[in-house]
Structure 1
């Protein structure tokens, strides 16, 4: 911009020579000294659009960082982490995302996993079960399982035990383990079922 009666170049919409962004260039005498030229409407609109696009870009970056953080937060547990405490079932869903109600019996302690050196026990069912276990990457391998054979009088408890047997045992289960960012143990099997176990205190000696 030049002062003292010399001409200045301004951007306006709808007049003069077309420019990029739908604006045009118009030459007119500069305003008198001390007077502030009005900001052309088109410039204001361009500024608002650029601000809006920058905000969208930063939002996309923030979402990407959040997703990346969540992905990094999940980790494969070690045997030391698994054996540090029992794990109580708090959530279970099938492949369609529906809650597996049979695994929860009102008034009874939750279905619990207990890892000890070389063994995984399943507790708070009608019968107690135990299997040799080892980890292969994030996979849980169970072998040589044994189970008590008490008669389950409560039909809901019986149904719970039968449903629990299908989670980890059988060739089509192939459970994998992960610790999420809250410290919960997340178990997924080949059938698309997802189980979430929270750490529980060790039993009193």
Structure 2
């Protein structure tokens, strides 16, 4: 494979105040419990750092009576996921991709009106999931983050006193501890046999790098097709389908001698073609 160039308040109170007791409204929550909307300071401070560092997957959802909100759990193996980056909230694993701007203030998350792609879904429950999610996330929600649990937890409470709890999974940037290099790989429709000392009868993806300018137009000539011995996290190849992938490539540290120094993570599928038709 061709090698490409590799592309992180605390306020110290005066000692004279060390013996002062906290007001009851600022008391720490009991161990194992999430901070509530009445303890906004730690939640807001943690959220600004933690929200972009994790993928947040829906684990619990209950209404004001404590009953489970079943319409939010359409895909058991692919729960609704929130991602926070650059002031935008993105929702995946619904029928469409949904997104909107967000702000953190005084222990609350405020989400602007959300927009979505316009893909139709045959499953009525899945098609309805977009609306079920959007109407609960838009507006001002009480927010609490507990970074001490494993995994970390995010709790959002709506104006209707519905409670949504999400488990955090570290993003690739958090796991690899480095900024990625953005690149584009074209993946051929068919794999090819390739030699691997540890994997008999290994089939390799056939890839080549392609380039785009700032306007999103393809430029120059692609590189030659090559065997791709690594894995692309988040990508599952379908035989007969050619794809162009936008990839985040991370340079790993402390890599064993028999492992790749790079980790490849799928950002999005830019182009897809079924060559079998």
Alignment TM-score, normalising by the size of structure 1? 0.60
Match of 2:88 among 91, 109, 119: 119
Structure 2 CA distance for partners of 1:116 and 1:127, relative to 1, 3 Å = same
Match of 1:152 among 110, 121, 126: 121
Structure 2 CA distance for partners of 1:80 and 1:96, relative to 1, 3 Å = same
Per the alignment, residue 49 of structure 1 pairs with none
* Contact 2:111 2:140 (8 Å CA) reproduced: no
1:186 partnered with 2:152: no
Q: Which has the larger radius of gyration?
A: 1
Structure 2 CA distance for partners of 1:155 and 1:179, relative to 1, 3 Å = same
Per the alignment, residue 142 of structure 1 pairs with 111
Per the alignment, residue 142 of structure 2 pairs with 176
Structure 2 CA distance for partners of 1:106 and 1:82, relative to 1, 3 Å = closer
* Gapped regions of structure 1 (runs ≥ 5): 1-66
Per the alignment, residue 92 of structure 1 pairs with 61
Per the alignment, residue 70 of structure 1 pairs with 30
Per the alignment, residue 163 of structure 1 pairs with 132
* Contact 2:47 2:145 (8 Å CA) reproduced: no
How far is 1:162 from its partner? 2.0
Bigger proportion of residues as helix: 1
How far is 1:144 from its partner? 5.3
Structure 1: distance between partners of 2:28 and 2:110? 29
What is the RMSD computed on CA atoms of the aligned residues? 2.2
How far is 1:80 from its partner? 1.7
Q: What is the aligned residue count? A: 136
How far is 1:118 from its partner? 1.0
How far is 1:97 from its partner? 0.5
How far is 1:120 from its partner? 0.6
1:110 partnered with 2:76: no
Alignment TM-score, normalising by the size of structure 2? 0.45
* Gapped regions of structure 2 (runs ≥ 5): 1-26, 36-41, 173-232, 234-264, 266-277
Structure 1: distance between partners of 2:160 and 2:59? 19
Post-superposition CA distance 1:79-135 (Å, at most 9, x none): 221000110000000011100011112454100000012111011110111111111
